[in-house]
Amino acid sequence: MSDGMISPHHAEELAACFAAHARELFGYASWLTRGDRAQAEDLVQEAFAAACFAWQSLRSLAEEQRSYWLRKTLANIAMSGFRRETAFRDRLPRIEIRYRKVQADLPEQVFSSIMLERCWRVIQGMPKRRHAVAVLRWQLDMKEADIAAILGIKPKTVSTHLHQARRALIAQLGPDNPLTGDHAEGASS
């Protein structure tokens, strides 16, 4: 049936199939869901919805074969749901961290803002090529190979310009420079 409806005769056959297998299927679903009644009922319903769509071929099977098909379909639906839930559970901490409101540390924000402004002033005063490399790397987060391709220079030249830019920032910003720790000289760019 192309419109998603089944004939009244097939609906009667499907109702008889439901009457014959729903209880056993619910027990199996309850076992799979560790006693979660609502989830077990949903699985049974989804298995019979799948049976409705496949009824043309299912109706010719013997009862044991239908029972097997229903159990297998229910298990596949359950496993897909369990995988989705596991994937969501795995992503949930990252999602929470990303959208959790962080308490503002006003002094840190002010210091960071001032240091960032000082960094960009230093970068603005750099020679043209070094300035371009610094902007492409640190503002646009481009990789060295991409910068080299855009500027028509060798990747080693990009690396040299970044090294010189870092040295200039460290020299001009003094002990408060943000280029310590992970971003210090020798860290990968």
Q: Is 50 among the domain residues?
A: yes
Number of domains making up the chain:
2
Q: Do 89 and 37 have their domain in common?
A: yes
Tens-digit pLDDT string for the chain (189 aa): 445 577 888 889 889 999 999 999 999 999 988 888 999 999 999 999 999 989 988 989 998 999 999 999 999 999 988 888 888 777 877 777 777 776 666 667 666 778 888 888 888 899 999 999 998 998 888 899 999 998 999 999 999 999 999 998 888 877 666 555 444 444 444
Q: Do 95 and 138 have their domain in common?
A: no
pLDDT tens readout for residues 98-111: 777 766 666 676 66
Report the sign of the C-alpha dihedral through residues 113, 114, 119, 122, in that order: positive
| Residue 79 burial class via C-beta count within 10 angstroms: exposed 0-12, middle 13-18, buried 19 and up | exposed
Q: Which two tokens stand for residue 4?
A: 């998603």
Q: Length of the chain, please?
A: 189
Quote the domain boundaries for residue 48: 8-99
The mean pLDDT value of the chain amounts to: 83
Q: Do 144 and 85 have their domain in common?
A: no
Domain end: 52, 79, 99, which one?
Answer: 99
